[in-house]
Amino acid sequence: AQSVTQLDSHVSVSEGTPVLLRCNYSSSYSPSLFWYVQHPNKGLQLLLKYTSAATLVKGINGFEAEFKKSETSFHLTKPSAHMSDAAEYFCVVSGSRTGFQKLVFGTGTRLLVSP
């Protein structure tokens, strides 16, 4: 069985300050991990993905995440927040013994960015 836990339902930052969105995962298989972003009234968009290559993954819009197996974590970071980063962020785990990919989403973290 697989699951992800997003440790914060809301994170508030000021524009220009660092962003940290926390995610812990559980997986019976070698997992693939992803972060998706959802802007209001928009479809979900892939930010970045880890698929057993480099543990530090760079994504779009300056975001990056580090896979830490020992801590079962995949936290999302950005050095400097922008107003346009305000959105809902979902941590996602995927893995399957059948070969058919099944994505399991976390409950989401809403990022609020103030001027």
- Give DSSP secondary structure letters for 38-102: E-TTS--EEEEEESSS-SEEE-GGG-EEEEETTTTEEEEEESS--GGG-EEEEEEEE--SSS---
Stretch of 13-21, 45-53, 59-67, 79-87 contacting other proteins, by CB under 8 A: 45-53
CA atoms lying within 13 Å on the CB side of residue 111: 28
Neighbours of 80 (CB within 10 A): 12
Nearest residue (CB) to other proteins, 99 versus 115: 99
Question: Is residue 92 involved in binding other proteins (CB under 8 A)?
Answer: yes
Q: Of the two residues 32 and 73, which places its CB atom closer to other proteins in the complex?
A: 32
Stretch 58-87 residues interacting with other proteins (CB under 8 A): none
Q: How far is the CB of 61 from other proteins (least distance, A)?
A: 16
Residue of 43, 56, 70, 97 interacting with other proteins (CB under 8 A) = 43
Question: Does 55 interact with other proteins (rule: CB under 8 A)?
Answer: no
> In whole angstroms, what is the distance from residue 69 CA to residue 109 CA?
22
Q: Under the rule (CB under 8 A), what is the footprint of other proteins? A: 32, 34, 41-46, 49, 51, 90, 92, 94-96, 99-108
